[in-house]
Amino acid sequence: MGYRKVAIVGAGLTKFVRRAEETGQEMAYLASKMALDQAGLKLKDVEMVTVGSAPDAFDGVHMKGEYLLSGAGGNGKPYIRNFVGGGTGVFAPIHGWMHVASGACDVCLVVCSEKMSSCHPHPQGAFLTIFDHTTEQPLKPTLIWIFALEMRRYMETYGLTKADVARVAVKNKNNALDHPSAHVAEAVTLEDVLNSEVLAEPVNRLDISPSSDGAAAVVLASEEVAKRLTDKPVWIAGVGWNLDTAYWATKDLYYPRYVEKAARMAYEMAGITEPHKQIQVAEPYDPFDYKELHHMEGLLLCERGEAARLTAEGYTARTGNLPICPSGGALGVGNPISATGLMKVIEIFLQLREEAGKRQVPGKPRVGLAQAWGDLMQVGTVIVLKR
Amino acid sequence: MKIDQVPMKGLTSEEYERAIKIKWQPKLQYAWDNGIAIGKYLAGLKEGKILASQCIKCGRIMLPVRSFCELCWRPTDGEVEVKDTGVINTFAICHVNWDASRLRPDEPRHIPAVIEIDGASKGQGIMHVIGNVDPKKVKIGMRVRAVWKPAQERTGTITDIIFFEPY
Chain segment A36-87, per-residue pLDDT in tens: 999 999 999 999 999 999 888 888 888 999 999 999 999 999 999 999 999 9
Find the residue in A nearest to B128 (Cα). A139
Taking residues A162-173, what's their average pLDDT?
98
Q: Would the CB atoms of A199 and B94 count as touching at under 8 Å? A: yes
Query: Per residue in B51-82, pLDDT tens?
Result: 999 999 999 999 999 999 999 999 999 999 99
Q: Let me know: does B79 contact B54? Beta carbons within 8 Å.
A: yes
Taking residues A23-47, what's their average pLDDT?
97
Distance CA A351, CA B137 (A): 47
Find the residue in A nearest to B16 (Cα). A19
Class of domain A6-119+210-386: alpha beta
Mean pLDDT of chain A: 95
Q: Where are the domains of chain B?
A: 32-166
Q: Would the CB atoms of B99 and A253 count as touching at under 8 Å? A: no
CA torsion through residues A71, A76, A79, A81, sign: positive
With a pLDDT cut of 70, the percent of chain A lying above it is 99
Taking residues A185-200, what's their average pLDDT?
93
CB atoms within 10 A of CB A125: 18
H-type helices in chain A, by residue range? Answer: 24-39, 56-59, 64-68, 88-101, 143-158, 162-175, 190-195, 223-229, 257-270, 275-278, 289-298, 307-312, 329-333, 337-352
Q: Which residues of B touch A124 (CB under 8 A)?
A: 98-100
Find the residue in A nearest to B162 (Cα). A139
Q: Angle of helix A162-175 relative to helix A289-298, nearest 10 degrees?
A: 100
ipTM of this predicted complex?
0.92
pLDDT of residue B3: 66
Over 80: is that where the pLDDT of A225 sits? yes
Radius of gyration, alpha carbons of chain B: 22
Taking residues A223-237, what's their average pLDDT?
97
A78 Cβ contact partners less than 8 Å away, ≥ 6 residues apart: A47, A48, A49, A104, A105
pLDDT of residue A119: 87
Q: Give the pLDDT band of residue B114 (cuts 50, 70, 90).
A: very high
A29 Cβ contact partners less than 8 Å away, ≥ 6 residues apart: A70, A71, A72, A73
| Residue A340 phi, psi (nearest 5) | -65, -45
Three-state DSSP class for A157? helix
Q: Would the CB atoms of B8 and A214 count as touching at under 8 Å? A: yes
Greatest CA separation for chain B? 69
Over 70: is that where the pLDDT of A1 sits? no
CB atoms within 10 A of CB A90: 35
pLDDT of residue A143: 86
Q: Let me know: does A170 contact A193? Beta carbons within 8 Å.
A: yes
Find the residue in B nearest to A57 (Cα). B26
pLDDT of residue A81: 97
Q: Which of residues 109-148 of B touch A (CB under 8 A)?
A: 110, 112-114, 123-129, 135, 140
pLDDT of residue A59: 85
Distance CA A347, CA A8 (A): 12
CA distance A52 to chain B (A): 20
CA distance A373 to chain B (A): 21
CA-based nearest residue to A107, from A35, A204, A12? A35
- Residue A65, CB half-sphere, CA atoms under 13 Å: how many? 13
Q: Let me know: does A39 contact A231? Beta carbons within 8 Å.
A: no
Q: Would the CB atoms of B140 and A12 count as touching at under 8 Å? A: no
Q: Give the pLDDT band of residue B1 (cuts 50, 70, 90).
A: very low
Distance CA B60, CA B156 (A): 25
DSSP 8-state symbol, B32: -
Low-confidence winner among A29-38, A131-140, A296-305, A349-358 (lowest mean pLDDT) = A131-140
Q: Which of residues 49-108 of B touch A (CB under 8 A)?
A: 62-64, 66, 70, 89-101
Three-state DSSP class for B50? strand
CA-based nearest residue to A265, from A282, A298, A240? A240
Q: Let me know: does B78 contact B37? Beta carbons within 8 Å.
A: no
Residue B29 touches chain A, beta carbons under 8 Å: no
Pairwise pLDDT comparison (A61 vs A161), residue with the higher score: A161
pLDDT of residue B100: 79
Distance CA B53, CA B65 (A): 5
